[in-house]
Amino acid sequence: MGCPICGKNTDSMWLKFSRKHVYMSHRKGLGPTHSYRDKKAWFDGKSEHGRTGRILTGHEVSQNLRNFKNDFGNVKGSGRKRKRIVLLSDSDDSSIESEEEEEEEEVEVDEDELSRWKKRSILFKLPYWEVCIA
């Protein structure tokens, strides 16, 4: 969830007692024959043979953020306003799904992805921006 570069491929683990997500398994980034990969007792008791996930390209990020709506200002604690925002976003999603039936899977990914972002920068309005963010 946490990393904007790895996207949804981020390796995370929930710690029950500390009550937080941690991002370990850096051994995946090592070379395929690195000696650390087979050291079980040093790390989590398993040998690691996975590889790091692909990082997001600029095009993917801008695709994900395409439908992002900025809502500025403080959201007050009253329940009514919150509800309205949720309703709005729901209706948005349904309209998107109806418009683009082919990309249904992508839209599902989007909701997951969008939860990571707080704001769509105005720089994304530039036509060439997705090429710039490598």
Binding stretches for other proteins (CB under 8 A): 2-5, 10, 13, 15-24, 26-27, 29-31, 34, 36, 39, 42-45, 55, 134
39 or 84: CB nearest other proteins:
39
CA distance 84 to 22: 33
CA distance 121 to 131: 15
Under 8 Å between Cβ of 12 and 6: no
Q: Could you tell me the smallest distance in angstroms from the CB atom of residue 134 to other proteins?
A: 5
Structure tokens at 94: 């349904």
Q: Could you tell me the smallest distance in angstroms from the CB atom of residue 70 to other proteins?
A: 20
13 or 123: CB nearest other proteins:
13
29 or 86: CB nearest other proteins:
29
Pairing relation of β-strands 13-15 and 20-22? antiparallel
